[in-house]
Structures are given as structure tokens and as C-alpha cells.
Amino acid sequence: MNPTRTDAYLRRLGAERPARPTTEALRDLHLRHLRAVPFENLSIHLGEQVVLNEEALLDKVVARRRGGFCYELNGAFGLLLASLGYEVQLLAGRVHGDDGLGIPYDHLALRVRTVDGGDLIADVGFGAHSHGPLDFGERGEQADPGGTFRVVEAGGDLDVLRNGKPQYRLETRPRTLSDFRAGAWWHSTSPKSHFTQSLVCSRITEDGGRITLSGRTLTTTDAEGRKEARELGTDKEVLAVYRDGFGIGLSEVPTVRGGQFG
């Protein structure tokens, strides 16, 4: 990333360029990212290819002011952090589900080291998760507006728990962005991927709540966890929520396409 792109990315987040790559600055950027850049899988249902390289990620998140899912959001955020002087490693994760762990390269998260000694897990691409980065080496409870988190040993890997429930298992070996292409392809095409079976667009709100559009269901959650859901009737209403609630201008309402192979 060149300085012009870094500045454009920071403007997207409403952030100033940090004087130094500190833990405090990382926490601020992390929360701003969750508020400004939605977690969304619209590309899958709009017939757009998910491309994991620097040019494509920055074009989507910065120039086109879109969101994405974990590979795109954490991939782009990692580029921004590296350009600001942070030491960034990409970590591969497998999501805990009802049937056990997901596929290899199921999830991408970031390990970020700061100039003031911070060693943190940053993750702006897991939907409802921690609002701030988690301490990589802490094994006790970590309080966060998004819940109570723990990072625990799991046979050489690390499990990240939210409110006592395992969310995903992280390898500690650093990876490259290209390592995740097969996982992104599977999640974009397989009928067994929940991303091909549903539409989602979600972000944290300024007051610490959340706004989520799942298909035509608009759900708002306040900072205390109280939810209110309503069905949107017309395409005009849906497009207005994408525009006004998420800053995404669409010419058509996405519809679920399903997977491409069995």
C-alpha cells in the first residue's frame, strides 16, 4: 500500500493516521473498522468473484466502499496495519460448528504486534465477535462489549471462546493471503457453505449495538442486547437499508443463488 491508499483507507474509517503503531491505536482502528466496514457476503449472490490479492481487496473495501467476509475484511485490514508500521501475521482458523471443526483455511484472523509490546489477535471479519483485539498470550477471561472471551490452548493451536462457547481454532503458524484462496472459493461456491445459502450484511453501530440485514429481515440490536426485527416489503426498502444503513449502493436486490457444486 502506498501512502495515498493508506490515507484513503483511514478516511473510510474516519480515523487519523496514528503517530505510532501502538496497542491503543490498534484498538481504535479495530472498532472503527467494525463500525464502518460491514461484514457481508453480497458478492457471492451478485455474481461477483471473490479475489484475494492486494489490488482487489483495496478496490473493494476502500474504492468501492463495500464490506466482505473474513478473508476480505481481515486481509484488507492487515494491509492497512502493515502500512502503518504494525507487525502483522495472517493466521488460519477453523470454525467450531455443530458437526465439529470446519474446513482448513475456514477463517482468517490476524496476529498483530505493536511497538509498545502488544501481541494481539485482531479480527474484524467474524460477524458478531469482540469489538476490540484480544490479547494473544492471555489465558484468562477478557471482557469486551461483545462478550467475555478466552484464548485457550488446544493441542498446539488456540481456541477462541466467546461466553464459554468455542468460536474458532487458530493455528499459530503464519500464512500468506494466497493460502486462503481455496477456502474462499469453497465458501463462495459450495452448497455446504452457509455463505451460499443466506444473505447477510451486518455492522456495529455507534452506540455499541448492531444492525443486520439478512435477506429482507432487518434486525437492530441495542448495546444491552435487546433485538427488534422487521420484514422489509419492497425492493426499494431493501436497497434503502443497504444504502443508508451500510453505505452500500446497489442497483438490484441480491437474491440467494446457492452453491455451484455438490
Which of 144, 124, 97 is closest to 202 using CA atoms? 124
The whole-number pLDDT of residue 62 equals: 97
One-letter amino acid at 22 equals T
CA distance 111 to 122: 6
Determine which one of 33, 96, 107, 129 is catalytic.
Answer: 107
pLDDT at position 99 is 86
Q: Contacts from 213-216 at CB under 8 Å and sequence distance 24+?
A: 213/238, 213/241, 213/242, 213/245, 213/246, 215/256
pLDDT (tens digit, 9 = 90+) per residue, 131-159? 999 999 999 999 999 999 999 999 999 99
Catalytic residue status for 107: yes
What residues in the chain have per-residue pLDDT under 50? 262
The structure's pTM equals: 0.95
Query: Which is catalytic among the residues 123, 129, 157, 187?
Result: 123
Residue 262 has a pLDDT of 42
Smallest CA-to-CA distance from 121 within 154, 151, 166 is with 151
* 194 belongs to the catalytic site: no
For the chain, give the secondary structure using H, E and C. Answer: CCHHHHHHHHHHHCCCCCCCCCHHHHHHHHHHHHHHCCEECHHHHHCCCCCCCHHHHHHHHHHCCCCECHHHHHHHHHHHHHHCCCEEEEEEEEEEECCEECCCCCEEEEEEECCCCCEEEECCCCCCCCCCCEECCCCCCEEECCEEEEEEEECCEEEEEECCEEEEEECCCCECHHHHHHHHHHHHHCCCCHHHHCCCEEEECCCCCEEEEECCEEEEECCCCCEEEEECCCHHHHHHHHHHHHCCCCCCCCCCCCCCCC
Which one of the listed residues 30, 45, 70, 129 is annotated catalytic? 70
Query: Would residue 70 show up in a list of annotated catalytic residues for this protein?
Result: yes
**All 3 cell numbers of residue 29?**
482502528
Dist. CA 137–CA 118, nearest whole Å:
10
Return d(Cα 16, Cα 108) in angstroms, integer: 26
Please report the pLDDT score of residue 260 as a whole number: 65
| Separation of alpha carbons 196 and 187, rounded Å | 7
CA distances from 127 to 68, 74, 131 (A): 10, 12, 10
